Amino acid sequence: MTLPSIASPLVVAGLVIWLLTLVQKKALSIKHALRDLGDCPGRAILWLHPFRSLALVAGPFYPVKGQMGYYYSKFSKYRDYGSTCLSSVIFWRAVPTYFVADADAVRLINHERHIFEKEVEAYEPLNIWGYNIISVAGSEWKRHRSVVKNAFNEANNAFVWSETCRIVNQWFSGLDSRPNENQPIDVLAVFKQVAFLVIASAGFGTKIDFNSDMDILKTPPIDRSNSSSSNPESPVLSFGVSLTTSAKRFFVRLFTPTVIYSIAQRVKIPVVSRVLEETTVGYNSLKWHMQAVISDARDASLKEPVHGIDEQSFESVDAPDKDHGAALLRNLVQANMAEEAGLDRRLTDDELTSNTFVFLLAGHETTAHSLCFALILLALHPEAQDKAYEEVCRLWPNMPPFDPPPTYKDNLPHLEYTIAAFHEAIRLFSPVPRLGKTVLVDTTLKARRFSTNLEGKVTDIEEYNIPLRAGSIVVLDSHGLHMNPIHWGDDVAKFKPERFIDTPTYKWPRDAYMSFSQGHRSCIGQRFAITEGACVLANLVRRYEVLLPVELESKSREEQQRILLAWKPGVTIIPQNAWVRLRKRKV
């Protein structure tokens, strides 16, 4: 018998033994993880980590309806098991993982930072140019936050208000000249442009008119040899288009190996080459624009050091003929330039670029998508739209535009119902469906068991304790939390802005609301977004009646909602059919 003939069976046998050993180890690790789940309902095996980019990409297709982790299940899975906390195990890591849709548990998780830590690994895809305020935790997060927090204040919110008024009224001037009012409008495209222009001006000092050509390809007038582009003379997309393109192609950039880009440049692959070229140009263009605004801010600081906008008085910002804005950029640049400041106030060049990117992305995409859902819901619920209209008419008896424009401090506090409608829209369609935290030490979490009667109402509610092992993962399910009838009532699925208005006998459940997160890691730009959102909606409703597209008017309410409110997971949830008609009001 020859040596190869003896060796072959030995190799096969060795391979089989190795595979069996792996299977045995995996089975044991999953068994131990399932044991750690205790009596928490669910006990599902997850094939995808529920808080990773791959789950977002697969979200429209997998997991399928009825499975744990299904993005569109809202509160239904919790109803199935009669619990506000559900357990599972991630197969590949054998890690106990808990989905949480309970206000008390969510409050504890968000506020006990020494027990529950942000899952920063999930945010690594945002580190395209370096670390940033979203992708770090602990002392590093405190350092980043200390740099930017003073830029988000009432003075800057007032500037956000005035810039939003300016931009939407520029949009209105084009709307009024339309030949056909019945032509539906793609409000996603419009709101992306509005949101970009507001953050560009209020955050970064780049003032652009709404009606300027956002689609122009420009050749940079300066040397780009230090940029990531291999061709310094390649065309550059305009600032707004480069940001929109980068957001659209985020997952393409994340999951495509560098070698594929090289192959696609040499060999034209149908569709693939075009998409990869668009991705490359988009990100290179965005970096060029970010470096340009950073360079301008650095030059301005060298010539005449500028104190943050936080040092300006509230009244001075609302006064006309004042040039404000760029507070966020100034703080970032000054931290980068600081020579004698403590280490906790400094930013590296990469951190400066990366923070610029995430604030542009968050300030642009999240607000635009949220406004789409809010406007569609007002079109679907004319009774709610009428209430918003009546509120705005009391504040603004005359039709916009106004001269002088309405001020922030005299107007926003009186838009109670409009702000409530914005909150209600992002309760029903929270921008980020889930957040992940790692359990640092063994602890206990309170949840609720309940029953559902034949009428669909929740009954027999009782608290129970869930032991959590260190190393476990908790997934804060904002969509489940926002659809939990224990906290929001049996009409939880209804669009009802009144639920966000306090009365002497009712206080809306703050702990059951996660659209801006909670605790010390809550969204730093929350007031910025609310100011912009309320301003857009108030101006729109005062000037136009928001209507459904003509072709949908004959369909049932359920079908209208299914079509217009469709969305898919992304960095934030993305509306798929954001079309409405805007008919100018007579008075």
Residue of 39, 22, 19 lying closest to 30 (CA atoms): 22
In tens, the pLDDT along 272-307 reads 999 999 999 999 999 999 999 999 998 888 776 544
Residue 233: what pLDDT?
53
Residue 122: what pLDDT?
94
Residue 580: what pLDDT?
98
Chain Cα centroid distance, residue 495? 21
Positions of the chain with pLDDT under 50: 215-232, 306-317, 319-323, 339-340
Residue 485: what pLDDT?
98
Residue 398: what pLDDT?
85
Output the average pLDDT for the chain: 90
What Å distances lie between residue 216 and 219, 238, 294, 559, 580, CA to CA?
Answer: 10, 6, 22, 38, 27
Compute the radius of gyration of the chain from its Cα atoms. 26
Asked if 134 contacts 123 with a C-beta cutoff of 8 angstroms, the reply is: yes
Whole-number Å distance between alpha carbons of 557 and 12: 62
Residue of 527, 539, 521 lying closest to 423 (CA atoms): 527
The residue whose two tokens read 């004959």 is 554
Burial 199-238 (b: 16+ CB within 10 A, else e): bbbbbbbbebebeeebeeeeebeeebeebebeeeebebbb
In tens, the pLDDT along 106-158 reads 999 999 999 999 999 999 999 999 999 999 999 999 999 999 988 899 999 99
Residue of 291, 348, 313 lying closest to 147 (CA atoms): 348
Residue 321: what pLDDT?
38
Asked if 157 contacts 531 with a C-beta cutoff of 8 angstroms, the reply is: yes
Question: Which residue type, as a one-letter code, is found at position 168?
Answer: V
Residue 218: what pLDDT?
44
Rounded-to-5 percentages of helix, strand, coil across the chain: 55, 10, 35
Mind listing the domains of the chain with CATH numbers? 3-122+433-493 (3.30.43.20)
Residue of 291, 317, 146, 105 lying closest to 204 (CA atoms): 291
pTM: 0.91
Read out DSSP for 275-297? HHHHHHHHHHHHHHHHHHHHHHH
Whole-number Å distance between alpha carbons of 322 and 324: 6
- DSSP conformation class of 432: S
Residue 23 structure tokens: 């299977």
Whole-number Å distance between alpha carbons of 349 and 361: 19
CA angle in degrees (0–180, nearest 5) for 132-53-145:
20
